[in-house]
Amino acid sequence: MLTIELINNNIPRLQLQDSVGKALQLINDFRVTHLPVVADSKYLGMVSEEDLLDVEEEKMPIELMQEAFTNPSVFENEHFLNAVNCSNQFDTTVVPVISQAKDFLGVITTSDLLKALGNFAGTNEIGGIIILEMERTSFAISEISRIVESNDATILHLNTTIQKDTGLFTVTIHINKKEISSIVSTFERYDYDVLYYFGTELFENKIHSNYKHLMNYLDI
């Protein structure tokens, strides 16, 4: 999904001649942290609620605050995940979308990004979740996929994160079946470390946890 597809046209834009008071009122009304500033359809940057609150004179035009403007933005033809990264990097609830000529096209809100992320991750699909932990060198999508498919299941979404303290991979797998105990057993048979899993047989998690504690105890 491209950023242009997620533009929210309900969020207002500011002009340089708009007052600090007007900007603060709009930020409050639309419950955002920033608003874009535009001149002759060109994107100039974003002004934050925090910087606006530091101004004592509410009638002052925001034109005099240009040094405080930040410049987060994404191009219209970028993948929406770049907008997610931009939102996180600049800690803003709206991400401006611009053309290659830097014409302002609109903004994407974090609520719309969250919905897009949910669809991207397949959260609207019924299924189970398995979370594995492994060394980076042991990560092989082909083998993980083979194990899942050998149990007549399909991976809907797979995500990896790196634990900063250990450097280990955490692999989260969303599967199209909720009955996943057989898949978990297969992963363990191939010596994968299954941290958690979530399916219809929730009681299995407790049994699995008790089993691991017992094995750890016997290893002492």
Interval 29-52: pLDDT, tens: 999 999 999 999 999 999 999 999
Residues sharing a CB contact under 8 Å with residue 69, sequence separation 6 or more, in sequence order: 37, 44, 45, 46, 47
Is residue 203 pLDDT above 70, yes or no? no
Distance of CA 204 to the CA centre of its chain: 30
C-alpha to C-alpha distance for 119 and 34, rounded to whole angstroms: 26
pLDDT digits 0-9 by tens, 79-122: 999 999 999 999 999 999 999 999 999 999 999 999 998 888 77
Which residue type is seen at 101?
A: A
**The model's pTM:** 0.71
pLDDT band at 211, cuts 50/70/90?
low
